[in-house]
Amino acid sequence: MPGLSIVGTGRFLPGRPYTNSDLARVLDTNDEWIRQRTGIAQRHYCPRGQGPADLALPAAKAALESANLAPSDIDYILFNTMTPDHVFPGSGTVLGANLGCIGVPALDLRAQCAAMLYSFQLADSLILSGAAKRILIVGAEAHSAMMPWRDWDVLEGTSDRKPSAQDFERATKHRGWAVVFGDGAGAVIVERSDKPGAGIVGVDLHSDGTHVEELCLPAGFKMRGAAGEIGAEEWLIRMQGREVFKQAVVKLPRSVELVCEKSGVPASEVDWFIAHQANRRINDSVCERLGLDPARMPCNIDRYGNTSGATIPILMDEMWRDGRLRPGQLICLVALGAGFHWGSVLVRI
Ligand code: ACO
């Protein structure tokens, strides 16, 4: 039976990083709070006028280059994003056009921070069914469009003025989530492999929409008359951070236990646990509950913040390029995102 192997990876982070102290210019926060509660030191933001498809393009090109492939070698695109360029069409088709993959099937996945897990499951099935041979999987996010401040010039340091008291207060009201998110893109190319054991070893995936209110961005087509009335408030995330945290630290270790149990693979045989980077403390707690050395669950949230559907492919690219991730290894992808969607996927790459 054919499986899949990783043949190339890429990433792109726009512009310069913004530190926690930069954020303190537009809302009431401080470096110590953000580092202690989340592990984040800095993040990047997508420039005005650009979206996830723009961030995905250089990441995809870097992945093609690392695999020594051309756009014409790709026969399917899976695009993970919760911040699409447009409500419709999807960002995958925009990326395909910009990359020169005209006519290649392109599908957006709406599983937020867990989308990479769904993409791997889907890629494996597409390859197994013969529908695709070489798939470009991209995760890209432009959260900057939903940040609760208007004072980008103050944040960027191009203006000495202070935000108005009203703007500062509004941004501060949303500081619990606004300091967490960053923008970026990661890309992974997988192709059909006939090596024995290559590809998906086990999957434990779940969706439970009873948690929508705990983490969502309300704007959408549920609102009749929205075109005439929609206000900026609908474009701000609603997040019950503590509840999300509590759910993640219970559901994720259980899922890892289940996928290992179902696959007959002890956790000790997994080379890397590649987890979504939502909050350093969540991943430390998952490791503690599983009795794992945290060194086996690499972390880069300090440099990029939470880039939602892009965290896993960005981390995979870092690890592929510095040699930690190598062909033949067994990895476990782990994530929980809005929906909730969560789970873990074991892959022999
Ligand atoms: N700077 C300074 N103080 C702050 C900030 C900030 N940025 N944000 C909140 N505070 C204050 C609050 O006002 C509160 O003060 P009070 O005690 O005087 O009222 C205090 O800090 C505690 O606030 P909480 O919101 O309870 O903080 P908590 O410890 O829960 O940390 C956090 C918040 C970091 C968001 C955490 O709950 C978390 O990481 N949750 C999980 C988030 C997550 O995983 N989200 C999304 C997944 S991504 C996706 O799918 C979209």
- Expressed in angstroms and rounded, the spacing between residue 177 Cα and the centre of ligand 1 is 6
Alpha helices (H) along the chain: 20-23, 31-38, 52-67, 91-99, 115-129, 152-156, 165-173, 175-178, 226-229, 241-263, 280-290, 301-304, 311-321
The ligand 1 site (C-beta within 6 Å) comprises 29, 33-34, 37-38, 112-113, 175-177, 179-180, 215, 239, 241-242, 244-245, 248, 278-279, 306, 308, 337-338
Atom of ligand 1 nearest to the CA of 248: 44
pLDDT of the residue at 226: 73
Q: What's the whole-number mean pLDDT along residues 188-210?
A: 96
Distance (Å) from CA 296 to ligand 1 centroid: 26
- pLDDT at position 224 is 75
Is the predicted pLDDT of residue 221 greater than 90, yes or no? no
Mean pLDDT of the chain: 96
pLDDT digits (tens, 9 = 90+) for 142-176: 999 999 999 999 999 898 899 999 999 999 999 99
Percentage of the chain beyond pLDDT 70 is 99
Looking from the CA of residue 113, the nearest atom of ligand 1 is 50
What was the pLDDT predicted at 225?
Answer: 74
23 Cα nearest atom in ligand 1? 7
Portions of the chain given CATH number 3.40.47.10: 3-193, 199-348
Indicate whether 130 pLDDT > 80: yes
Report the separation in Å between the CA atom of 36 and the middle of ligand 1, taken as the mean of its atom positions.
Answer: 11
Task: Read off the pTM.
Answer: 0.97
pLDDT for residue 227 is more than 80? no
Q: Whose CA is nearest to atom 44 of ligand 1?
A: 278
pLDDT of residue 233: 87
**How confident is the model over 252-278, as a mean pLDDT?**
98
The count of other CB atoms within 10 Å of the CB of residue 217 is 17
Q: Which amino acid is at 174?
A: H
Taking the CA of residue 336 as centre, how many other CA atoms within 13 Å lie in the half-sphere pointing to its CB? 27
Residue of minimum CA distance from atom 9 in ligand 1: 176
Q: Is 5 helix (H, G, I), strand (E, B) or coil?
A: strand
> Could you tell me which of 199, 204, 200 has the C-alpha nearest to residue 343?
204
CATH 3.40.47.10, applies to 199-348: yes
Say how many Å lie between the CA of residue 212 and the centre of ligand 1.
Answer: 18
Best of 245, 247, 312 for a ligand 1 pocket test (most atoms within 8 Å of beta carbon)? 245
pLDDT tens digits for range 88-122: 999 999 999 999 999 999 999 999 999 999 999 99
Distance 242 CA to ligand 1 centre (A): 7
Give the pLDDT confidence of 309-325 residue by residue, as tens digits: 999 999 999 999 999 99
Q: pLDDT digits over 48-95, tens only? A: 999 999 999 999 999 999 999 999 999 999 999 999 999 999 999 999
The residues annotated as belonging to the active site are 113, 276, 306
Looking at residue 133, its pLDDT comes to 98
Fold of 3-193: Peroxisomal Thiolase; Chain A, domain 1 (3.40.47)
Determine the Cα–Cα distance for residues 253 and 285; give it in Å rounded to an integer.
Answer: 9
What's the rounded Cα separation, in Å, for the pair 161 and 143? 25
Per-residue model confidence (pLDDT) at position 338: 97
User: Candidates 244, 304, 336: which one to mutate for ligand 1, based on the most atoms within 8 Å of Cβ?
Assistant: 244
| Ligand 1 nearest atom to the CA of residue 112, by list position | 50
